[in-house]
């Protein structure tokens, strides 16, 4: 029987190129905000780590600000895409490494900045992964987390988690703002800045990017069509079943 990590790799390895060109992942106000926060640092980070780098969009931004960046992911195919894109962009300070976020192969306090974008909702044990994040971050180092948020209302959140899982069986859970704040404070990170944006997911491209089986696509459509008014309003469900959850960003610093 396959492990969850095997399932993640099976889902994303054949789709690596699609995530490089995905409009949701390649751009957005969260990525621009990340660049501004990085530019605001008084000292250039010597080493930065991007956990669950995917197609590498955050890693490319980190490479503009840090002397050395490691793009870390479980998917070798994703890392192959990142290597090619980094070479095309002339980012010779960006290196790739494969592995599991729950067991990072780095010494304690070896990074000045650790970041992750649109990956944490795939991590099967988020508490363990965040503890590893803290371990490899030096005291006083910075943390940047970007991810789709879960909903505060239980009814809305149940529907959101369900359609995410139907679309991508490697999905674990989107966390709410309150949950992220608790997680970060729990590992000794002082949150210095947080922000959220509506993130419209165009239905057809959203399921095509993951090559969601047609049976699952039909189930998602039926679930959204039959969702109660509170869910449809909160997720801004449209006639074609496109919908709009929120992306959250948290920027903080590990206590000394």
- 72 pLDDT more than 70: yes
181: enclosing H helix or E strand: helix 177-186
Architecture of the domain delimited by 4-150+172-201+246-254: 3-Layer(aba) Sandwich (3.40)
For residues 61-67, average pLDDT: 96
Backbone angles phi, psi at 134, to 5 degrees: -65, -40
pLDDT band at 6 (very low <50, low <70, confident <90, very high): low
For residues 9-31, average pLDDT: 63
For residues 151-175, average pLDDT: 97
Give the alpha-carbon dihedral of 198, 204, 205, 210, to 10 degrees.
110
Q: For the chain, give every domain's residue range.
A: 4-150+172-201+246-254
Mean pLDDT of the chain: 92
Question: pLDDT tens digit string along 41-59?
Answer: 999 999 999 999 999 999 9
- 1 pLDDT more than 80: no
Its sign, for the CA torsion 221, 196, 122, 34, is positive
- 13 pLDDT more than 60: no
pTM, two decimal places:
0.91
Burial class (CB within 10 angstroms; exposed 0-12, middle 13-18, buried 19+) of 18: middle
pLDDT band at 256 (very low <50, low <70, confident <90, very high): confident
For residues 186-213, average pLDDT: 96
Question: How many percent of the chain have pLDDT more than 70?
Answer: 89
């Amino acid at each position: 029987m396959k492990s969850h990590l095997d399932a993640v790799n099976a889902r994303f390895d054949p789709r690596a190129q699609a995530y490089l060109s995905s409009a949701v992942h390649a751009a957005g106000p969260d990525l621009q905000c990340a660049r501004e926060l990085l530019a605001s640092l008084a000292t250039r980070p010597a080493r930065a780590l991007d956990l669950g780098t995917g197609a590498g969009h955050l890693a490319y931004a980190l490479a503009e600000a840090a002397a050395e960046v490691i793009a870390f992911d479980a998917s070798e195919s994703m890392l192959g895409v990142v290597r090619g894109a980094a070479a095309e962009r002339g980012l010779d300070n960006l290196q790739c490494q494969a592995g599991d976020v729950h067991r990072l192969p780095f010494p304690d306090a070896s990074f000045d900045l650790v970041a992750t974008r649109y990956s944490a909702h795939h991590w099967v044990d988020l508490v363990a992964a965040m503890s590893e994040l803290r371990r490899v971050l030096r005291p006083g180092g910075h943390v940047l987390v970007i991810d789709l948020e879960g909903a505060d209302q239980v009814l809305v959140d149940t529907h959101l988690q369900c359609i995410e899982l139907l679309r991508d069986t490697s999905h674990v859970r989107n966390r709410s703002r309150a949950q992220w704040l608790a997680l970060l404070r729990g590992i000794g990170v002082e949150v210095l800045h947080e922000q959220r944006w509506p993130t419209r997911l165009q239905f057809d491209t959203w399921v095509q990017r993951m090559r969601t089986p047609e049976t699952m696509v039909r189930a998602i459509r039926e679930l959204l069509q039959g969702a109660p008014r509170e869910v449809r309003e909160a997720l801004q469900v449209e006639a074609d079943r496109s919908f709009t959850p929120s992306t959250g960003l948290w920027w903080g610093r590990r206590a000394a």
